[in-house]
Structure 1
Amino acid sequence: MIENRPWLTFVSHLSLLFGIALVALPVWVALVASTHPTSAFGAGHIPLWFGDQALQNWGSVLFDNAGSGVDVPVWYMMLNSLIMALGITIGKILISLLSAYAIVYFRFPFRHLCFWVIFITLMLPVEVRIVPTYEVVANLNMLNSYAGLTLPLIASATATFLFRQCFMSIPGELVEAARIDGAGPIRFFFDILLPLSRTNIAALFVIMFIYGWNQYLWPLIVTTDDAYYTLVMSIKRMLSVDNGDVEWNRVMVTTLLAMLPPIAVVVGMQKLFVKGLVDAEK
Structure 2
Amino acid sequence: MRPKRSAVIATHLVLGVTTFLFVFPIIWALAKSTQDLGTSVSTSLALGDQFVTNAWAALDRFGLGQMMGNTIFVTAAVTLGKTVLSLLAATAFVYFRFPFQGLAFALVLFTLMMPTEALIRALFDLVGDLGMLNSYEGLILPFMASATGTFLFRQHFLRIPRDLVEAAQVDGVGPFRFLRSFLVPLSWNIIGASAVIDVVYMWNMYLWPRWAATDPEVMMVQVGLVRLLSEQQVNHWGIIMAGAIITMIPPLIIFMLLQERFTRGFALSGDK
Asked if TM exceeds 0.5, the reply is yes
TM (norm. structure 1) is 0.89
Q: Distance in 1 between matches of 2:209 and 2:258?
A: 27
Which residue number in structure 1 is paired with residue 170 of structure 2? 180
Specify the alignment match of 2:126 in structure 1: 136
Contact 1:35–1:57 (8 Å) recurs in 2: yes
1:191-210 pair list within 5 angstroms: 191-210=181-200
Identity %: 39
Corresponding position of 1:47:
44
Runs of 4+ in structure 1 off by over 6 angstroms are none
In the other structure, the counterpart of 1:268 is 257
State yes or no: 1:108 paired with 2:107.
no
Determine the C-alpha separation between the residues in 2 that align with 1:30 and 1:151. 34
Please identify, of 45-54 and 131-140, the stretch whose mean Cα deviation from structure 2 is larger.
Answer: 45-54
Conserved? CA contact 1:33–1:46, under 8 Å:
no
Mapping of residues 1-282 of structure 1, within 5 Å = 2-3=1-2, 8-42=7-41, 45-62=42-59, 64-66=60-62, 72=63, 74-241=64-231, 244-278=233-267, 279-282=269-272
Residues 34 and 238 in structure 2, CA contact (< 8 A), matched pair in contact too: yes
Partner SS for 1:3: coil
- Which residue pairs with 1:69 in the alignment? none
Count the aligned residue pairs. Answer: 271
TM-superposed deviation, 1:267: 1.5
Deviations 1:3-24 (A, max 9, x none): 2755554444443333322222
Contact 1:231 1:254 in 2 (8 A): no
The C-alpha deviation readout for 1:72-125, integer Å capped at 9, x for no partner, is 2x2221111111211221111111111111121112222222212222222333
CA-to-partner distance for each residue in 1:29-87, whole Å, 9 max, x for gaps?
11111122223345xx322111232222122323x222xxxxx2x22211111112112
- Residue aligned with 1:127, SS: helix
Q: Distance in 2 between matches of 1:191 and 1:52?
A: 53
Q: Residue type of the partner of 1:65?
A: R
Structure 1: 5+ residue runs without aligned partners?
A: 67-71
Instruction: Give the TM-score of the pair, scaled to structure 2.
Output: 0.92
What amino acid is the match of 2:247? A
User: 1:224 and 1:176, CA in 2 relative to 1: closer, same or farther beyond 3 A?
Assistant: same
Query: 2 CA distance for matches of 1:244 and 1:58?
Result: 18
Give me the CA root mean square deviation.
1.9
Q: Is the 8 A contact 1:93 1:205 kept in 2?
A: yes
Q: Which amino acid aligns with 2:28?
A: V
d(CA) in 1 for partners of 2:8, 2:251: 32
The unaligned stretches of length 5 or more in structure 2 are none
